[in-house]
């Protein structure tokens, strides 16, 4: 019997009538249930904003007299009762979708491994889309009642926060996280912290474990900051994606091998092992090692375990896959191959990759060879992946390479604005989220009065504009901000002008500066007095990515120019909170990746389900969603002879669609000043994006296409 337990580190000393708020603070279920969230924010709205929506700090810091006051507020206490009866029903649901439709899943846990998880802004253990996708996957698994358990890292400093200097250079600040303020529960075994160990050739690496509750799904996070480790090793889980290779490979050893051991220590015996990207691929080795230790040969062990392994690839460029030089593998895995019954060469043969600079050990190859389930994250990405990895199946035609695709999705309740949710509840009934992936539901959207949709859209844009202004004000008061940066950050934002959003990681393939390829033309587009257009940029570059930082600088130099009239805006420190305001508030969501390098993309889905219209290259998910009526395409669904030609053609398409279609449509109004034709597209966007590009559809597809097969 496992004797582990988690311990609530805080007793909040709450009034008797409110004690369960402490429990709610430790289950991220509140993050996608607005009524639950409001139990915290209503205690003190200003404090809630100041604390960056952190309920644990909120309960500790809010005035005690205020707590006593709400116990006498009937409306508050009514909400309180409702929230906890909803939560209890949710947690106790005996027959959720997964178990009702697939009884074979009962007692067959699915383990989900990811280097990052984007669950909420207070838990900054994600850097971008990969993490947010993983976070949304957990929330949906919880809603569907899938017996899923996740493994990742608790990063002591989280992902960096970003400031932009007056000259446009990104500055990175690493802020130590205060774990007592986070919804992470330390896991104990008896009276000691539960720890796991991984042997390296010259030392032992230890890690302790934290548990984060995501509805019904537990997420276990490994943390190397323990006394048994050297100072150097304690920093291993200090940050996401170390750029030095030693730490990088050690992190992956800890995730893949240590992650399996953590689940074992916690008493899990998963039936399915899902690797979200190749960072966790060493789990393949640990699972084989377990069977070798029990007396199997390596071949038997790897064949037996392969069936249950699932690998999702997210990278359409070979360089995006982690590969390690062989000397590094010697350094950190030399003690592993004898345990597998292999010699050095046999071990390298598992994932050997011939590269111009020499031989490497490829995490992508390891994962693909030793997983029976393999998928890309959109249809086009599936084609690209089959071509890219064809060499692993030399006897198969490209189209027969065994990599399927499951297009990404987003967690609707997490990303849809409360106002829009409320409108849909009024129109569709209170249980519409239970039917969210059913097309019949969305046919009813046409019956909603256009004016009501416009009112919601206007509200959301105003809310975003006011939020951005308050952000600038706070930043200005903190000092070190040049007056021109106040303008550049959006203080002159107009809540009634057509607003375009471009926010994502600054990786060069995303071509953030495409819209600046003809600056004079752009200035003439945005500055027409009766048809103003504003563009909001946001996003971080990885601290070691100088080309990405130069891209930010290039944009910032334009944003600062007086000629833009304050209509180009760069907002610092993109995170899930800012993302929420932007995807809900802008009119148009711009995306200009160099096709076909955006494997899927998800931010456009978040925008589209809120009624912001996508204006994007036909890459990744948008290629599957675009129907001519729900947004706009940039360029055609085809390959180009060269990146230069592609850039030039895409830039021309971008400007002309903006000038000839988007701006005229937005500013064409009826007698009540409502853009009716625009709103037809808004409806079409909500209708086509929400059901199909939801994690509801996505996780069900993972079950049908991959998880159930692994159980057979
Ligand atoms: C959704 C999201 C992403 C992913 O955006 P893409 O445009 O798909 O790359 C990145 N960062 C944050 C904070 C997000 O919420």
pLDDT value at residue 1: 39
CA 579 / ligand 1 centre spacing (Å): 7
Helix axes 326-333, 245-253, angle to 10 degrees: 50
Residues of the chain with pLDDT under 70: 1-4, 7-10
**Structural domain includes residue 336:** yes
CA 613 to chain centre: 21
Ligand 1 centroid, distance to 128 Cα (angstroms):
5
Q: Are residues 427 and 516 in the same domain?
A: yes
Give yes or no: residues 132 and 58 share one domain: no
For residues 202 and 137, give the distance between their C-alpha atoms in angstroms, rounded to a whole number: 37
CB 135 less than 6 A from any atom of ligand 1:
no
Task: Give the number of other Cβ atoms within 10 Å of residue 247's Cβ.
Answer: 18
Q: What is the pLDDT at residue 439?
A: 87
Locate 182 and state its tokens: 């986070």
Classify residue 249: in a domain, yes or no. Answer: yes
CB 149 within 8 A of CB 270: yes
Same structural domain, 591 and 646: yes
- In a domain, residue 583? The reply is yes
Q: Dihedral (C-alpha) 358, 363, 364, 368: value to the nearest 10 degrees? A: 120
**Ligand 1 atom showing the smallest separation from residue 602 Cα:** 8
> For residue 532, how many C-alpha atoms fall within 13 Å in the half-sphere facing its CB?
14
pLDDT of residue 197: 98
Q: Where are the beta strands (DSSP E) in 326-403?
A: 352-355, 358-362, 373-376
Residue 561 falls within a domain, yes or no?
A: yes
- Residue 101 belongs to a domain: no
What are the tokens at 695? 């994690």
- 324 and 358 in a single domain? The answer is yes
381/468 same-domain check: no
Ligand 1 neighbourhood includes 619 CB (under 6 angstroms): no
Query: Which domain CATH number covers 402?
Result: 3.40.50.2000
> Is residue 446 domain-shared with residue 404, that is, in the same domain?
no
Rounded distance from Cα 132 to ligand 1 centre (Å)? 7
Separation of alpha carbons 616 and 37, rounded Å: 33
Task: Quote the ligand 1 centre to 129 CA distance (angstroms).
Answer: 4
Question: Does residue 577 sit in the same domain as residue 449?
Answer: yes
What pLDDT, on a 0 to 100 scale, did the predictor assign at position 8?
67
| Cα–Cα distance for residue pair 553/543, rounded to 1 Å | 14
Look up tokens 């034709």; give the residue: 677
Give strand pairing partners of 617: 634
Q: Rounded to whole angstroms, how far apart are CA atoms 473 and 466?
A: 11
Write the burial class of residue 172 (CB in 10 Å: 0-12 exposed, 13-18 middle, 19+ buried): middle
Residue 3: the pLDDT is 58
The finding on whether 579 has its CB within 6 A of some atom of ligand 1 is yes
Q: Is residue 97 part of a domain?
A: no
- Residues 347, 395, single domain; the answer is yes
The domain of 270 spans: 110-156+184-408+700-711
Flag whether 351 is in a domain: yes
Q: Is the CB of 501 under 6 A from ligand 1?
A: no
CA distances from 189 to 3, 202, 237, 419 (A): 6, 27, 22, 45
Taking the centre of ligand 1 as the mean of its atom positions, its distance from the CA of residue 38, in whole angstroms, is 25
Q: Which residues contact 695 (CB under 8 A, 6 or more apart)?
A: 136, 137, 139, 140, 409, 410, 411, 412
- Domain closes at, from 40, 62, 92: 92
Which residue in this structure is represented by tokens 């204006």? 615
CA-to-CA distance for 178 and 157, rounded, in angstroms?
Answer: 9
d(CA 438, CA 434): 9
**Atom 7 of ligand 1: nearest residue by CA position:** 603
Are both 503 and 575 inside the same structural domain?
A: yes
Q: How far is ligand 1, taken at its centre, from the CA of residue 603, in Å?
A: 5
494 falls within a domain: yes
Residues 69 and 675: beta-carbon distance below 8 Å: no
Q: Looking at ligand 1, which residue's alpha carbon is closest to its atom 2?
A: 129
- How many structural domains comprise the chain? 3
3-state helix, strand, coil in the chain (%, to 5): 50, 15, 35
Going by alpha carbons, the residue nearest to atom 5 of ligand 1 is 603
- Rounded Cα distance, 386 and 402, in Å: 8
Q: How far apart are CA 682 and CA 632, in angstroms?
A: 12
Please choose from 128, 580, 601 the residue to mutate so as to test ligand 1's pocket, defined by most ligand atoms within 8 A of CB: 128
Q: What is the DSSP string of 261-286?
A: HHHHHTT---SEEEEESGGGTTHHHH
In testing the pocket of ligand 1, which one of 118, 589, 590, 598 has its CB within 8 Å of the most ligand atoms? 118
Contact 118, 135 (CB under 8 A): yes
What is the per-residue DSSP string for 187-203?
Answer: EEETTEE-EEEEEETTE
Three-class secondary structure of residue 214 per DSSP = strand
- Specify the 3-state DSSP secondary structure of 88: helix
Look at residue 616 and give its three-state secondary structure.
strand
Ligand 1 atom closest to residue 133's alpha carbon, by position in its atom list: 1
Whether 567 and 179 have beta carbons less than 8 Å apart is answered as no
Cα 118 to ligand 1 centroid, rounded to whole Å: 10
In 344-426 the beta strands, taken as DSSP E runs, fall at 352-355, 358-362, 373-376, 404-405
Alpha helical stretches, state H, 42-128: 45-50, 55-61, 64-71, 74-92, 97-101
Do 707 and 611 belong to one domain? no
> Are residues 586 and 449 part of one domain?
yes
pLDDT tens for 401-419 read 999 999 999 999 999 999 9
Atom of ligand 1 nearest to the CA of 574: 13
Tell me which H or E stretch contains 576: helix 576-585
- Kindly state whether residues 661 and 562 are assigned to the same domain: yes
**Is residue 576 within 6 Å of ligand 1 at its C-beta?**
yes
């Amino acid at each position: 019997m496992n004797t582990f337990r988690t311990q609530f580190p805080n007793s909040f000393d709450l009034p008797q009538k409110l004690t369960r708020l402490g429990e709610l603070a430790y289950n991220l279920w509140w993050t996608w249930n607005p009524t639950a969230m409001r139990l915290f924010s209503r205690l003190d709205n200003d404090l809630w904003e100041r604390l960056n929506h952190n309920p644990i700090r909120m309960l500790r810091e809010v005035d005690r007299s205020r707590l006593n006051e709400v116990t006498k507020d009937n409306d508050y206490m009514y909400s309180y009762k409702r929230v906890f009866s909803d939560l209890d029903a949710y947690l106790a649901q005996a027959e959720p979708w997964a178990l009702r439709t697939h009884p074979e899943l009962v007692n067959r846990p699915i383990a989900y491994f990811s280097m990052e998880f984007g669950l909420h802004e207070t838990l900054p253990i994600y850097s971008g889309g990969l993490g947010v996708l993983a976070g949304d996957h957990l929330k949906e698994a919880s809603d569907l009642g899938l017996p899923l358990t996740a493994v990742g890292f608790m990063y002591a400093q989280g992902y960096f926060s970003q400031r932009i200097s007056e000259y446009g250079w990104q500055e990175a600040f690493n802020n130590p996280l205060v774990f007592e303020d986070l919804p992470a529960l330390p896991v104990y075994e008896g009276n000691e912290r539960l720890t796991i160990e991984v042997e390296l050739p010259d030392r032992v690496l230890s890690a302790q474990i934290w548990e984060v509750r995501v509805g019904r799904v537990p997420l276990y996070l490994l943390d190397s900051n323990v006394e048994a480790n050297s100072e150097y090793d304690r920093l291993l889980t200090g940050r996401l994606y170390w750029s030095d290779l030693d730490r990088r490979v050690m992190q992956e050893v800890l995730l893949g091998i240590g992650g399996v051991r953590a689940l074992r220590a916690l008493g899990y015996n998963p039936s399915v092992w899902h690797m979200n990207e190749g960072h966790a691929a060493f789990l393949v080795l640990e699972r084989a090692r377990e069977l070798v230790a029990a007396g199997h040969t390596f071949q038997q062990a790897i064949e037996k375990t392969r069936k249950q392994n699932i690998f999702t690839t997210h990278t359409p460029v070979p360089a995006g896959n982690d590969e390690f030089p062989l000397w590094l593998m010697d350094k950190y895995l030399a003690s592993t191959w004898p345990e597998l019954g292999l010699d050095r060469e046999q071990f390298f043969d598992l994932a050997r990759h011939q590269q111009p600079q020499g031989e490497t050990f490829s995490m992508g190859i390891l994962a693909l060879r030793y997983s029976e389930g393999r998928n890309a994250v959109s249809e086009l990405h599936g084609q690209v992946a089959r071509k890219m990895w064809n060499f692993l199946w030399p006897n198969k035609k490209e189209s027969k390479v065994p990599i399927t695709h499951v297009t990404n999705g987003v967690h609707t309740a997490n990303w849809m604005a409360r106002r829009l949710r409320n409108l849909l509840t009024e129109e569709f009934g209170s249980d519409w989220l239970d039917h969210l992936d059913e097309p019949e539901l969305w046919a009813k959207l046409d019956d909603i009065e256009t004016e009501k949709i416009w009112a919601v859209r206007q509200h959301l844009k105003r809310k975003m504009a006011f939020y951005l202004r308050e952000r600038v004000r706070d930043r200005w008061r903190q000092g070190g901000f040049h007056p021109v940066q106040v303008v550049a950050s959006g203080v002159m934002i107009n809540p009634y002008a057509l607003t375009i959003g471009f926010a994502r990681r600054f990786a060069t393939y995303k071509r953030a500066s495409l819209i600046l390829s003809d600056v004079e033309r752009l200035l003439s587009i945005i500055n027409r007095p009766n048809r103003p257009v504003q563009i909001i940029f946001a996003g971080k570059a990885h601290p070691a990515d100088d080309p990405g930082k130069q891209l930010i600088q290039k944009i910032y130099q334009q944003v600062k120019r007086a000629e833009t009239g304050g209509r180009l805006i760069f907002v610092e420190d993109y995170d899930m909170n800012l993302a929420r305001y932007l995807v809900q508030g802008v009119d148009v969501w711009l995306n200009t990746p160099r096709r076909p390098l955006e494997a899927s993309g998800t931010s456009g889905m978040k925008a589209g389900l809120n009624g912001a219209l996508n204006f994007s290259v036909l890459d990744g998910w948008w290629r599957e969603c675009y129907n001519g009526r729900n947004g706009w395409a940039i360029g055609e669904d085809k390959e180009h002879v060269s990146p230069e030609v592609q850039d030039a053609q895409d830039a021309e398409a971008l400007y002309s669609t903006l000038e000839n279609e988007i701006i005229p449509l937005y500013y064409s109004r009826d007698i009540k000043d409502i853009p009716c034709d625009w709103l037809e597209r808004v409806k079409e966007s909500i209708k086509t994006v929400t059901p199909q590009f939801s994690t509801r559809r996505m996780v069900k597809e993972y079950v049908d296409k991959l998880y159930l097969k692994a159980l057979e």
